[in-house]
Structure formats: structure tokens, C-alpha cells
Amino acid sequence: MDPHMPSSPPFPQPFPKKPPTDDDTSSGGVDQLAQAAKLAEAGDVFAARQILARLTPRLPAAPTPLLRSAFYFKEALRVALSSPTTTTAASTNSTPLDLLLKLTAYKAFSDLSPVLHFAHFTCVQAVLDELGAAPCIHVLDFDIGVGEQWASLMHDLAQRHTHTGVALKVTALVSTASHHPIELQLIHDSLSSFAAELGVPFRFAAFDLNATDLTGLLAVTAGDAIAVHLPVGSVHAPAVPSVLHLVRRLGAKLVVSVDRGCDRGDQPFAAHLLQALQSTVFLLESLDAMGTDSDVAAKIERFWVQPKIDECVRAAAAGDRTPPWRATLASAGFVPVQVSSFAEAQAESLLKKLPVRGFRLERRAGSLFLHWQRGELASVSAWRC
């Protein structure tokens, strides 16, 4: 997908003579988005841009989840094909206001949707099941988020070890393009304050994935019971084998992984984009069903959902493609661990508290999946080294 490839004639696709209905706009817009992705995949960036330019009046930010999702993916693809470095630069130069908007959207999403709680509780329970008796648990996190999942782990450790203190260390493995220094400081302060309240010995550190020799982790993890939080898509595809090799060298006891449909990079570009689009439609449908206030929904989509889409499309457009995740872990010598019945019971309890029905759980191949009606939203798997 080289933007300097020779130009080709615009892709022929006449506009309808009459104003399209919602159904016409949905099907026609998604079809043309798929055509643009296939042309980009084939290297015909000029024709792909022509289709995306003509889609602009057909895909306004509209009420339906399908149209909103198509609009976001169209914009993300347009930017990725026009200037591959634009989004990365914007992330690096984010301001404190950008961070505030991101954190506000994150909290709103966390309050409304069960997706984050499902992922956090299930990952934490997997760590407790495997390492709960260790005197010091050290979590290496390739997707720290805002760190709230490890507050949950602290709380459970404090309840389990009322007489003997158990220490917790969290090391965030981050890119400076995705995390503002203020954000990391907020995570550190929040977790440290909570640990002090609970009386849990705690240490937080951050390693820059772009600038740090990760073998330095060998020195700071010696003697710890190590768990690795490695969600699908959190590491660029070319780096996955070296990361998994490092995890084995560190002697990690457990790897927990969250898989969202839009993060899978094991398909060709166009197929990956359409799968991610479908996953986003399911997510927005579930938010709409929760009766989300329109202003709140707009903030969640603008400052939480859209950046995730931008990351997904940018990585796919750059050719960041990995083999199927389970096969990748298995071939690196990792063995799947069955998600415990207690973790499943926790997730069931979470869904029963929601004001709407339609979310459901499924256990498959030892992993736990969260669905909205017919669509998969996220899954959690655990692996022993």
C-alpha cells in the first residue's frame, strides 16, 4: 500500500439519483468501504482514496451503529492512506486536555459497558488462581490502560493475606506514542495510594517499549512470581516472537490475554478491517441498548472508540499482521489454562446486574467469551509457560 504507486483511474461507482434511505446508505456505504480496503490491500491507493472521498457525503455520523462504525472506519482508513505518521504524531503530542478527555471517556465506558469489567475480573482471577499463594506477584503489563484492574488484584490479595503481607509489583511496558507521562504518573499515584490504604507492599515502574532494552527486566524480576498481561494486538506483529521469547526467559508463570474482535491481525487487510467494523457495530449496539445518554455516547465514541479504531486501521495498513493468536502462543511453547469456574461465576454475576438482557457468556477451548446477542465483544484466555 505505497502512496507513491502509479495512479489508476477512479473506481467507477455512480451515485444514486435519489436520496438514499438508511438501508441503502448502510449497505452501499459498507460495500464501498470494503472495495476501498481491497484496493488498498492490492496496492491501488489512488483508487481507494477516490472511493473514500466519494463516501464522505454518504456516510455522515448517523444514528445507527452500522453507519457510525462505517463512518469512523472510513475516516481512519482515509487518514492511514493519506499520511501514515499523522496519528502517531498526534498521540505523541497529546496535551493534558486530551488526556482528561480520554480518561473521562474511559470512565464513562467502564460505567456503562461490562466489557472492561469482564476482562479485568477474569484476568485478575486467573492471576489469583495461579499465583495467589506467592509472596510477591510481579505483573508485566503490555496494555496498562488506567491500571484499575491491578487495584482489584490488590484488594483480593489483601483479603486473602490478612496476617502475612503479600507484595505486588506492576511494570507497565508502554510506548511513548500511546501514553503521556502525566498518565503514567496518575496510574502510579492512584495504585500507590490504594496499596497504602490496604497495607499491600507495592511498586510501580514503566519501561518504554521503543527505547528500552527489555532484557533489563531480567534484573528487576528475579525471584518474583511473574504474570504477563499480553492482550492481542498490544505488541506489533514483528515483535511478538521476541516478546514471547523474553517472557519465557523471565520465567513467567502465567500469560493472560484479552482478545477483542477488532484486534485480530491474522487476516488480510480488507478482511481484518471488515471484521473490526463488525466488532465495533456489536459494541455500539450494546451501548445503545444500555440507554446511553447521547452526549455521553458521543464522548465515548469520540475519545475512546475512535482512537481504538484509528490504532487498528493504522496497524493493519502498515502490514502489522500476526498468525492466529492461539496458534502463536502454542507454537512458542505455551499451554492453555482453563478459566476457572469462579471466574465464570463472577462474570455471570456481573451480567445479571446489568439493566438490559442480551449480554451472554460462552466457555470455549478453556477461554471465556463475552457476547452481545449474536456478536463477540471480547474473550479472555490464560496460558502457562
According to the model, what pLDDT value does residue 307 have? Answer: 92
According to the model, what pLDDT value does residue 18 have? Answer: 41
Residues 118, 152, single domain; the answer is yes
According to the model, what pLDDT value does residue 10 have? Answer: 37
Domain end, chosen from 41, 68, 93, is at 93
Residue 337 located in a structural domain: yes
Cβ neighbour number for residue 242 with a 10 Å cutoff = 11
Handedness of CA 105, 266, 261, 363 (dihedral sign): negative
Residue 269 located in a structural domain: no
Which carries the bigger pLDDT value, residue 175 or residue 165?
175
Q: Is 31 exposed, middle or buried (0-12, 13-18, 19+ CB in 10 A)?
A: exposed
DSSP string, 206-273: EEETTTS-GGGHHHHSTTSEEEEE--TTSS-GGGHHHHHHHHHHTT-SEEEEEEEGGG---S-HHHHH
In which domain, by residue range, is 40 found? 1-93
Residues 88, 183, single domain; the answer is no
Measured distance CA(145)–CA(73) in Å, rounded = 22
Contact status, residue 381 vs residue 336, Cβ threshold 8 Å: yes
Averaged over 26-38, what is the pLDDT?
Answer: 85
Residue 272's Cα: distance from chain center in Å?
15
Residues 150, 210, single domain; the answer is yes
Cα distances from 383 to residues 123, 137, 231, 327, in angstroms, run: 11, 16, 12, 12
Helix (H) or strand (E) holding 81: helix 65-82
Is the pLDDT at 14 greater than 50? The verdict is no
Domain end, chosen from 93, 113, 139, is at 93
pLDDT, tens digit (0-9, with 9 covering 90-100), for 222-268: 889 999 999 998 888 888 888 999 899 999 999 999 998 777 667 88
Residue 307 located in a structural domain: no
Residue 314 located in a structural domain: no
Residues 32, 8, single domain; the answer is yes
Q: Are strands 202-208 and 167-174 parallel, antiparallel or unpaired?
A: parallel
Specify the pTM: 0.87
Averaged over 150-172, what is the pLDDT?
Answer: 86
Residue 35 located in a structural domain: yes
Residues 110, 255, single domain; the answer is yes
Is the pLDDT at 7 greater than 70? The verdict is no
pLDDT, tens digit (0-9, with 9 covering 90-100), for 50-85: 999 988 766 655 678 998 999 999 999 999 998 755
Handedness of CA 16, 22, 24, 27 (dihedral sign): positive
According to the model, what pLDDT value does residue 217 have? Answer: 82
Angle at 270 (CA atoms; ends 264, 275), nearest 5 degrees: 45
Residues 219, 359, single domain; the answer is yes
DSSP string, 281-323: HHHHHHHHHTT--HHHHHHHIIIIIHHHHHHHHHHHHTT----
Q: What is the mean pLDDT of the chain?
A: 85
Strand partners, 138: 169, 226
Residue 88 located in a structural domain: yes
Residues 212, 83, single domain; the answer is no
Contact status, residue 255 vs residue 131, Cβ threshold 8 Å: no
Is the pLDDT at 333 greater than 50? The verdict is yes
Residues 221, 84, single domain; the answer is no
Residues 115, 65, single domain; the answer is no
Which carries the bigger pLDDT value, residue 379 or residue 4?
379
Residues 72, 2, single domain; the answer is yes
Averaged over 269-295, what is the pLDDT?
Answer: 93
Domain count across the chain: 2
Residues 130, 163, single domain; the answer is yes
Is the pLDDT at 279 greater than 60? The verdict is yes
Q: How confident is the model at residue 210 (pLDDT cuts 50, 70, 90)?
A: confident
Residue 233 located in a structural domain: yes
According to the model, what pLDDT value does residue 161 have? Answer: 67
CATH number of domain containing 112: 3.40.50.150
Measured distance CA(230)–CA(325) in Å, rounded = 11
Which carries the bigger pLDDT value, residue 44 or residue 175?
44
Closest CA to 79 of 68, 69, 90: 90
Q: Is 237 exposed, middle or buried (0-12, 13-18, 19+ CB in 10 A)?
A: middle
Provide the 3-class DSSP secondary structure of residue 85. coil
From 47-61, 301-315, 322-336, the region with the lowest mean pLDDT: 47-61
Cβ neighbour number for residue 309 with a 10 Å cutoff = 21
Residues 59, 89, single domain; the answer is yes
Contact status, residue 37 vs residue 270, Cβ threshold 8 Å: yes
DSSP string, 344-375: HHHHHHHHHTSSSS-EEEEEETTEEEEEETTE
Domain end, chosen from 65, 93, 121, is at 93
Residue 274 located in a structural domain: no
Which three cell numbers, joined as nine digits, stand for 220?
528487576
